[in-house]
Structure formats: C-alpha cells, structure tokens
C-alpha cells in the first residue's frame, strides 16, 4: 500500500490534518503513534472506578475562534463548562486569576476597597494585567499588592512548575494568568468553552473514522518509516528528536500524575485547586467537575513537575525562554530545507506552548495554505 501522507502522532495536530486530507481530498493517510491510544495529551478514559479521567492532566477546551469551534463541533457535542480555579494561600482559597474577589478574600475590607478603587481608576474594569507588568507600577500601594500576588501566587508555583523564576521565562508564560480587574471568577473569558460531551477520545475516534485513514499504534515512526511508501510526511513529535539532536537537545518540562480515588461524591470545591506555596505538587484536579459525571466516588489527579528525560517520561511543555528559542531556530532552519517533503506541526514539532485550539488552528492552516495547493 502506498500512502499519500505519513502522519507521525495522533494528537490534535496529527488527527486534524489526517481528517482534512482524507475527508476533503480523499488522500490515503497512515497515522503512526508511539503510544497505545489516539488523542495525544488530550486522551481520556474510564478508570477502574468507572470515572472518566484525563490521563495527561486537565484539558478544558476554550477558544475565541468560531471557525475552530465549528470545525470541532462536527465531531462532538459540547458540555457547557466554565473552568474555575482556586489557589490556597495561607490556608485560605482565593480565585485565580487573581481578581477583585481575590483581593477581598486576602485583605481586610477597607484596605481591599482602597486597592479596588486604585485599580479601577488606573486601569478600569475588565482589564487584564500580567503580573510582571503590574510589578513595574510606581504607585506604592499597587506595588505592595503586586508583590503580594507575585510572592503568593506566582513565585512558588512557577519555580515548582518550571524550576525557573517567573522572570527567567518568556513574559508570555505568566501572562497566561494575568491579574484581572473583574469579579468574573472564570479562568478563561473566551467566547467558546466546553468539554466534549462524550469525552475527547470519542471526538478523536470520529475524527479518524474515515476509511482512508489507517492507524498504527504502539509504533515509533523511526522503526517503520523506511519500510513504508509515502509521498509526504507530517511530523508532530519533538523536532530535535526528528533531527537526531544535531543541534543539541531542546529543553522540555515533564510532569508526573498521581491519581487517587476517593470514596465520597465530591473532593474539592472547584475542578482545579492550585498550591503555589505548599507541597511538591502544583495542583489537584477533580475530573467530575469537568465532565459532570455522577458517581458515588470521585477521582483526583495530583501534578508533580519533573525534569524531562527521554525514555523516562514525556516532554509535556516546551520551555519558553531565551536559550530554547536559539536552539529551536536552528532546527527550524533544518525543517525549512525539507519543505514540501516533511511538514512540522503542533506543540512539540513547532516548539510552541500551544493550547488545544491553537494546535487545531495550525493544522487547519497547514491544510488550507499548503496541502490543498500541492
Ligand atoms: P500531542 O498531543 O503531544 O501529540 C503528539 C503525539 O505524537 C503524541 O501522541 C506522541 O505520543 C506522538 N509522538 C511523538 N513522537 C513520536 C514518534 N517518534 N513516533 C510516533 N509518535 C510519536 N490545552 C488547552 O487548550 N486547554 C487545557 O486545559 C490544556 N491543559 C493541558 C494540561 C497539560 C498537563 C498539558 C501537558 C497540556 C495541556 N493543554 C491544554 C495543551 C494540549 O495538550 C496541547 O495543545 C495539545 O495536546 C497539542 O496537540 P499536538 O497534537 O500538537 O501534541
Ligand atoms: N501560574 C502561577 N500560579 C498559578 C497559576 C499559574 O504561577 O496559580 C503561572 C505558572 O508559571 C504557570 C503559568 O502561569 O506555568 C501558566 O499557567 P497555566 O494555568 O496556563 O498552565 P498550564 O495549564 O498550561 O499548565
């Protein structure tokens, strides 16, 4: 069998591009995935207690892009869900992103009111300010507030998560969770938010159901690609691995997930509780909040950040910081030399801290801008 495309990786980027090529162009596609399942890091499954869990940590779909939402809606209905996160600070829980409600939970009423008024006057309601930006303020009261948030919400969490201080990472990393001058406790404000009604894995199954798509699980593409005939490769694994590390290793961050089943209906108030200052884990997720599942027990996942080591654990996060971009740009130059023969797509192959919607977006874009024109 000769394939038009060999796609490495069955995550969002690989499955979306496979679906488009097979469904829209009738192209013959082989997806090769080294894990035993489709879905990449978004894979979910029913555990031994009958609870639907996300194997690689909590995945909440959100996007401002109607086109991406409509596209995925061809493969799933959605459970409306707005993510809420609390952080434990000195034994109290406060909403994150840190907002006006968090201020009132953290400080005495009169002082909180003063802070609120200063923020409203200086920035206005509904404005989001990255913590590293807020710390540059010359207003002494705001500076105290910024330092409080930095010390209690960001410093401990970030040094655990990345083994780096907030300012050692790209500004964009801590800006993902900006201080929010609002009473809106939702983690995201995107227009479209939800969880696939029957889970992510069901969505991926429908996406790859086309008879023009073959799937090979438990297979590293390097072990089989020389024996398979294909025209073009689309690679969604780590780009440095593809090029046998000729420019050195790119840094990634890994995680260890500890799942615990608890014999009560509910474990915690919100789906996610962050522990910036205590414990070795960063956050605990209770999946039933995300899925809406009813059951007499509940499963939670503790996330322990880990150094990435090949063959030991998985490269979950690119590390957005100065040195990594320099290494990546050398690999990007190699990738460009293969244009037309191999495309590099997704969070690991493009070395970008993509959310799910962005991974879907770059795959749709590759299809429309390049593949369809070949
Ligand atoms: P991946 O899902 O990583 O897929 C790549 C696939 O390639 C993998 O299945 C891998 O096994 C396979 N592969 C790699 N090398 C090889 C090889 N040599 N041979 C064969 N196969 C190979 N995004 C959100 O929008 N909302 C969230 O709430 C959210 N939460 C997250 C929580 C965590 C803990 C993590 C780590 C990520 C989260 N994300 C979230 C991001 C989301 O997981 C990614 O955007 C998305 O998975 C990227 O899809 P991808 O296809 O590019 O990569
Ligand atoms: N962050 C933090 N404290 C928090 C939440 C987030 O310091 O309570 C920082 C931390 O550096 C984290 C980054 O903001 O890695 C991005 O957070 P996000 O929740 O987007 O991380 P993800 O869900 O991608 O792991």
pLDDT tens digits, 321-340 = 999 999 999 999 999 999 99
Q: Does the pLDDT at position 374 exceed 80?
A: no
Give, using CA atoms, the residue closest to atom 7 of ligand 2.
154
Q: For residue range 350-372, list pLDDT tens digits in order.
A: 999 999 999 999 999 999 999 99
Q: Topology of domain 2-38+208-251+311-373, per CATH?
A: Rossmann fold (3.40.50)
**pLDDT at site 373:** 83
CA 254 → CA 86, 142, 159, 250, distances in Å?
23, 35, 14, 13
Answer yes or no: is the C-beta of 60 below 6 A from any ligand 1 atom.
yes
Q: For residue range 268-323, list pLDDT tens digits in order.
A: 999 999 999 999 999 999 999 999 999 999 999 999 999 999 999 999 999 999 99
Mean pLDDT (whole number) for 334-348: 97
How close is the Cα of 338 to the center of ligand 1, in Å? 23
Distance CA 242, CA 245 (A): 8
* Closest ligand 2 atom, residue 154 Cα: 7
Mean pLDDT (whole number) for 6-34: 98
Give, using CA atoms, the residue closest to atom 20 of ligand 2.
176
Answer yes or no: is the C-beta of 20 below 6 A from any ligand 1 atom.
no
Q: For residue range 114-164, list pLDDT tens digits in order.
A: 999 999 999 999 999 999 999 999 999 999 999 999 999 999 999 999 999
Distance CA 253, CA 258 (A): 17
Relative to the alpha carbon of 39, which ligand is closest? Answer: 1
Relative to the alpha carbon of 282, which ligand is closest? Answer: 2
Answer whether 0.95 is exceeded by the pTM: yes
Answer yes or no: is the C-beta of 31 below 6 A from any ligand 2 atom.
no
**pLDDT at site 1:** 84
Give, using CA atoms, the residue closest to atom 10 of ligand 2.
158
Question: Where, residue-wise, is CATH 3.40.50.720 in the chain?
Answer: 2-38+208-251+311-373
Residues 6+ apart with CB under 8 A from 64: 190, 191, 192
Q: Does the pLDDT at position 253 exceed 80?
A: yes
Q: Does the pLDDT at position 87 exceed 90?
A: yes
Relative to the alpha carbon of 207, which ligand is closest? Answer: 1
Reported as type and span, the H/E element at residue 32 is strand 29-32
Cis ω on the peptide bond leading into residue 191 (within 30° of 0)? no
Distance CA 36, CA 43 (A): 11
Distance CA 360, CA 68 (A): 7
How close is the Cα of 40 to the center of ligand 1, in Å? 5
Answer yes or no: is the C-beta of 274 below 6 A from any ligand 2 atom.
yes
**pLDDT at site 121:** 97
Give, using CA atoms, the residue closest to atom 38 of ligand 1.
59
Q: For residue range 198-250, list pLDDT tens digits in order.
A: 999 999 999 999 999 999 999 999 999 889 999 999 999 999 999 999 999 99
Four-CA torsion 223, 226, 231, 234, nearest 10 degrees: 20
Give, using CA atoms, the residue closest to atom 1 of ligand 2.
154
Residues 6+ apart with CB under 8 A from 105: 92, 93, 94, 95
How close is the Cα of 146 to the center of ligand 2, in Å? 17
* Percent of the chain clearing pLDDT 70 (strictly above): 100
């Amino acid at each position: 069998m000769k394939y038009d495309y060999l796609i490495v990786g069955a995550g969002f980027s690989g499955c979306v591009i496979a679906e488009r090529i097979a469904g829209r162009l009738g192209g013959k596609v082989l997806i090769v995935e080294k894990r035993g399942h489709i879905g990449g890091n978004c894979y979910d499954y029913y555990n031994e207690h009958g609870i639907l869990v996300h194997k690689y940590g909590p995945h909440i779909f959100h996007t401002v892009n109607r086109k991406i939402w409509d596209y995925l809606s061809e493969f799933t209905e959605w459970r409306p869900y707005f993510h809420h996160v609390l952080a434990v600070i000195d034994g109290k829980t406060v909403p994150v992103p840190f907002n006006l409600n968090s201020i009132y939970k953290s400080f005495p009423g009169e002082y909180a009111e003063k802070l609120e008024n200063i923020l409203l006057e200086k920035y206005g309601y509904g404005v989001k300010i990255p913590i590293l930006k807020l710390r540059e303020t010359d207003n002494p009261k705001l500076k105290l507030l910024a330092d409080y948030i930095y010390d209690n919400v960001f410093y401990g969490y970030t040094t655990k998560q990345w083994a780096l201080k907030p300012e050692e990472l790209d500004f964009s990393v801590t800006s993902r969770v900006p201080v929010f001058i609002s009473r809106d406790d939702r983690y995201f404000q995107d227009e479209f938010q939800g969880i696939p009604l029957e889970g992510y894995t069901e969505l991926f199954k429908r996406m790859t159901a086309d008879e023009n798509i073959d799937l090979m699980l438990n297979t590293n593409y390097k072990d089989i690609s020389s024996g398979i005939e294909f025209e073009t490769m689309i690679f969604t694994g780590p780009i440095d691995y593809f090029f046998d590390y000729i420019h050195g290793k790119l840094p990634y961050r890994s995680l260890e997930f500890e799942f615990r089943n608890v014999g009560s209906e509910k474990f915690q108030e919100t789906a996610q509780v962050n522990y910036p200052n205590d414990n070795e884990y960063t956050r605990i997720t209770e999946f039933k909040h995300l899925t809406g599942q009813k059951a007499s027990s509940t499963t939670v996942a503790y996330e322990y950040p880990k150094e990435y080591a090949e063959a030991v654990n998985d490269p979950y996060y690119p590390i957005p910081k100065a040195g990594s971009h320099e290494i990546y740009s050398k690999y990007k130059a190699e990738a460009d030399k293969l244009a037309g023969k191999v495309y590099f797509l997704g969070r690991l192959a493009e070395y970008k801290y993509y959310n799910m919607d962005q991974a879907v977006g770059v795959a749709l874009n590759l299809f429309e801008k390049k593949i369809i024109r070949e």
